[in-house]
């Protein structure tokens, strides 16, 4: 089976909001999370979508699904997320395992809940590549020069831009493979390795590149939200 895991466990601290996580903010008269869920629900290859939300917002998330996505409710599960993105992915997989028998070939497409402009093409390319690779990372070519500084004071290195990409989501892989690699990490590594695909890379697994889109923005700041609302209005 093919699953989608929507990572909605954040509290929106960088947005400067105290009362509501950013994934629940309005975007074109609907919450950001609803826009994101619709993208995956409408992909015919995806069997089930699982939302990993902040434990304090479980009921609220379920109410949103009842209000906006009632027709698809049987294909959507909601579970409590973790303290970071990888533990949220782990909780999502455990939720799947509780409801369905997981096989070695089952694939999960993980995606940030606050990236509502992901395209159908990008999702389907993740599915295709995940079937032939160990993992998939969605990227766009780096358009700006990337400067590295090890001390935050002076430049340590300026890598060649032609070899650099900016990571987005979805990130996709087989459920069993992620669990095996994650559970073999030390507790210290679990704190450091916050990117799922990096876990595959350091274990010498093949991580394919799926072509992303510059419109697939992550709504993290107030400025991002203003941009996203402008994009909705243009459409």
**20 vs 35, residue with greater confidence:** 35
Q: What distance, in Å, lies between the first and last C-alpha atoms of the chain?
A: 33
Print the domain residue range for 117: 2-234
- Taking the CB of residue 59, how many other CB atoms lie within 10 A of it? 10
This prediction has a pTM of 0.94
Q: What is the DSSP letter of 106?
A: -
The residue among 215, 89, 200, 213 whose CA lies nearest residue 139 is 213
Model pLDDT for residues 107-165, shown as the tens digit of each residue: 999 999 999 999 999 999 999 999 999 999 999 999 999 999 999 999 999 999 999 99
Q: What is the DSSP letter of 79?
A: E
- Taking the CB of residue 154, how many other CB atoms lie within 10 A of it? 7
Q: What share of the chain is helix, strand, coil (3-state, %, to 5)?
A: 45, 20, 35
The whole-angstrom separation of Cα 12 and Cα 71 is 29
Question: What is the domain-level CATH number for residue 20?
Answer: 3.90.550.10
Model pLDDT for residues 37-92, shown as the tens digit of each residue: 999 999 999 999 999 999 999 999 999 999 999 999 999 999 999 999 999 999 99
The total number of structural domains that make up the chain: 1
């Amino acid at each position: 089976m093919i699953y989608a895991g929507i990572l909605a466990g954040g509290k929106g601290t960088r947005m400067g909001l105290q009362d509501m996580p950013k994934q629940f903010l309005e975007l074109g008269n609907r919450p950001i999370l609803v826009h994101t869920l619709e993208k995956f629900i409408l992909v015919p290859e995806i069997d089930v979508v699982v939302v990993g939300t902040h434990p304090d917002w479980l009921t609220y998330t379920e109410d949103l699904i009842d209000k906006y996505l009632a027709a698809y409710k049987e294909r959507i599960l909601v579970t409590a997320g973790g303290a970071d993105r990888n533990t949220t992915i782990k909780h999502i997989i455990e939720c799947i395992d509780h409801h369905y028998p997981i096989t070695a070939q089952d694939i999960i497409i993980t995606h940030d809940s606050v990236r509502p402009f992901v395209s159908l093409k990008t999702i389907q390319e993740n599915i295709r590549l995940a079937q032939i690779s160990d993992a998939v990372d969605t990227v766009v070519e780096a358009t700006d020069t990337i400067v590295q500084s090890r001390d935050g004071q002076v430049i340590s290195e300026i890598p060649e831009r032609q070899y650099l990409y900016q990571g987005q989501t979805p990130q996709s892989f087989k459920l069993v493979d992620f669990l095996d690699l994650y559970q073999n990490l030390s507790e210290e590594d679990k704190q450091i390795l916050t990117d799922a695909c990096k876990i595959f890379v350091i274990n010498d697994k093949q991580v394919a590149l799926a072509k992303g889109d510059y419109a697939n923005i992550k709504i993290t700041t107030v400025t991002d939200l203003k941009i996203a609302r402008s994009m909705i209005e243009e459409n």
